[in-house]
Structure 1
Amino acid sequence: CFALATLLAAQPFAVWLGSSLLLFAIGWLLQFIGHYYEGKKPAFVDDIVGLFVGPLFVVAEMGFALGLRKALQHEIEQLAGKVH
């Protein structure tokens, strides 16, 4: 995966931008297929804020996994409870 990312990053701007947009679209398509399979509608259908909260949650979790913002992580875990 890293080798593919390195190869893609070395390409001209139009190539990696187009590839990124294509992968993004494929990801959305797979997500909608998953929602259809589960029989549930996407959360953003009821609340548009979900489009912003979801990616922010993923970025925050990645940062916590890398050891960043430990004080914030501790505060969140105190309020919401720790989940494994």
Structure 2
Amino acid sequence: ALKVLRTAEYAPFVVFIAAPNLQGLQDPDGSLKRLLRESEILRQAFGHLFDYVILNNDIDETIHQLELVVEKLNACPQWVPVSWVY
């Protein structure tokens, strides 16, 4: 879907929220380990399409970083591929 949406019509800014670091976290059923593995697979496969990556170690900090990114997007001009302009 990212490849389809990355066009002049939509001009997306893609923020990837990566799985948290497992250090210090309890993971009795292995779901966090699975989430981390899947997050890394997504990053490897589609990382070239991400404009910004946030590591989700703390939900409040993640939200704050996302808000800052959105504010910056609204305040600053963004680079787009020349093919989107002409």
Pair in the same fold by TM > 0.5: no
TM-score, normalising length: structure 1 = 0.30
TM-score scaled to structure 2, two decimals?
0.30
- Quick one: higher RCO (CA 8 Å, sep 6+), 1 or 2? 2
Larger helix proportion, structure 1 or 2?
Answer: 1
In proportion to residue count, which structure has more strand?
2
